[in-house]
Amino acid sequence: MEDKLNICTPENLVYKKPGTLKIKQSHYCPGCGHGTVHKILMEVVEEMGIQGDIIGVCPVGCSVFAYDYLDVDMNEAAHGRALAVATGIRRVFPEKYVFTYQGDGDLAAIGTAETIHAANRGENIMTIFINNGIYGMTGGQMAPTTLLGMESTTSPYGRDVKTMGYPMEMANLLKDLKGVCYITRQSVHKPGNVRKLKKAIAKALEYQKQGLGFSLVEVVSNCPSNWKMTPLQANQFVEDKMIPYYPLGDIKTPEGK
């Protein structure tokens, strides 16, 4: 017992919640990736010391409440319009860091035009794209990213390509746009991946600092509640089904892929 107690001292601290997160329990379901991504994003903000220089935009989706957790200036956005809202901010505050945090329904369905044009204009913005293959907030409807055969409340017999089309690979769709400087796809289903995600976010903000343009950090995430799985099953599904279709890694870098 003794030595256990006395190692809990500041000099031995190796991991703690970043100070850039507000003290409030999240509303997210147990095991939901949103919480992990929030934490990693705020770790980077803390380490870069840019808490006062960054402005975030969260559209409606489960993460619409991000402003309750991320301790930085935040703007909620209408469904799909995050990148228009962020463009408005970016254009009037060229010297700040600006990011959006969007779900797949938001970024890839209703927000398609805003996404593509912000990227094509090379808006100097970082977009964190939470791909959980579902509309979480509204109770599990099909998203553009829902896998073929995957069940959702609006594809109860599995996504049927004949009538519902193919799962959209946004990263791939955007990669040839010249305004885009960085596209990477990461995940949070294993510690190693979480650490890689952190590096990716840091890189994206670094590129933004250099004014290189639009960057997309896609996170292949989960939705235990609407996938009707336990968090562990959900992360297994990420590993077995999502990642094979949405392979991880850098898709475009300023250095050239």
Partner 1 sequence: MGELKLMKGNEALAEAMILAGADAYFGYPITPQSEVLEYLAEQKVFERTGMVVLQAESEVAAINMIYGAAGAGKRVVTTSSSPGYSLMQEGMSYITAAELPCVICNVVRGGPGLGTIQPSQADYFQATRGGGHGDYYTIVLAPSSVQEIVDFVKLGFELAEKYRNPVLILSDGAIGQMKEKVEFFEQMPRRTVFPDWATTGKIPGKPARVITTLNIESEKMEVLNLHLQEKYNTIREKESLYETYNMEDAEYVFTGFGLVGRICVKAMEMAREKGYKVGVIRPITLFPFPTKIYAEYAPKVKGILDVEMNAGQMVEDVRLSVNGATPVEFYGRMGGMIPAPDAILEHFEKYFITGGK
Partner 2 sequence: MAKFKGQVVIDIENCKGCELCVATCPQETLSLSKTINKKGYRYAVVVNEDCNGCANCATMCPDYAITVYKKKFD
Partner 3 sequence: MTQESIFAGFGGQGVLTAALIVAYAGMEEGKEVCWMPSYGPEMRGGTANAVCIVSDKKISSPIIASYDSVIALNQPSIDKFESKVKPGGHLFYDVANCISKPTRTDISIHAIPASEEVIKLNFIKGLNILMLGAFIKATNTVAIESIEKALKKVLPERYHDKIPLNMEAFYAGMKHV
Ligand X SMILES: Cc1ncc(C[n+]2csc(CCOP(=O)(O)OP(=O)(O)O)c2C)c(N)n1
Residues contributing to the site for a second copy (CB under 8 A): 109-113, 116-117, 120-122, 144, 161, 163-166, 168-169, 172-173, 176-179
Task: Pick the binder of ligand X from 20, 127, 132, 225 (CB under 6 A).
Answer: 132
Beta bridge partners of 141: 135
Binding flag, residue 243, partner 1 (CB under 8 A): no
Cα(224)–Cα(218) distance, integer angstroms:
19
Q: What is the footprint of partner 3 within residues 8-27 (CB under 8 A)? A: 27
Q: What is the footprint of Mg ion within residues 106-135 (CB under 5 A)? A: 132
- Taking alpha carbons only, the member of 133, 129, 150 closest to residue 223 is 133
Cβ-contact 42, 50 below 8 angstroms: no
Cα(71)–Cα(91) distance, integer angstroms:
23
Cα-to-chain-centroid distance, residue 51: 18
Cβ-contact 116, 179 below 8 angstroms: no
Neighbour tally for 164: CB within 10 Å = 16
Q: What is the footprint of ligand X within residues 34-93 (CB under 6 A)? A: 60-63, 79
Cβ-contact 110, 79 below 8 angstroms: yes
Binding flag, residue 30, partner 2 (CB under 8 A): yes
Span of 23-31, 49-57, 161-169, 212-220 interacting with partner 2 by CB under 8 A:
23-31
Binding flag, residue 225, ligand SF4 (CB under 6 A): yes
Which of ligand X, ligand SF4, a second copy, none interacts with 60 (beta carbon under 5 to 8 A by kind)? ligand X
- Taking alpha carbons only, the member of 179, 199, 84, 102 closest to residue 145 is 102
The site for Mg ion (CB under 5 A) is made up of 103-104, 132, 136
The site for partner 2 (CB under 8 A) is made up of 3-4, 7-9, 12-18, 21, 25-26, 28-36, 39, 188, 190-191, 194-195, 224, 230-232, 235
The site for ligand X (CB under 6 A) is made up of 60-63, 79, 103-106, 130, 132, 134-138, 143
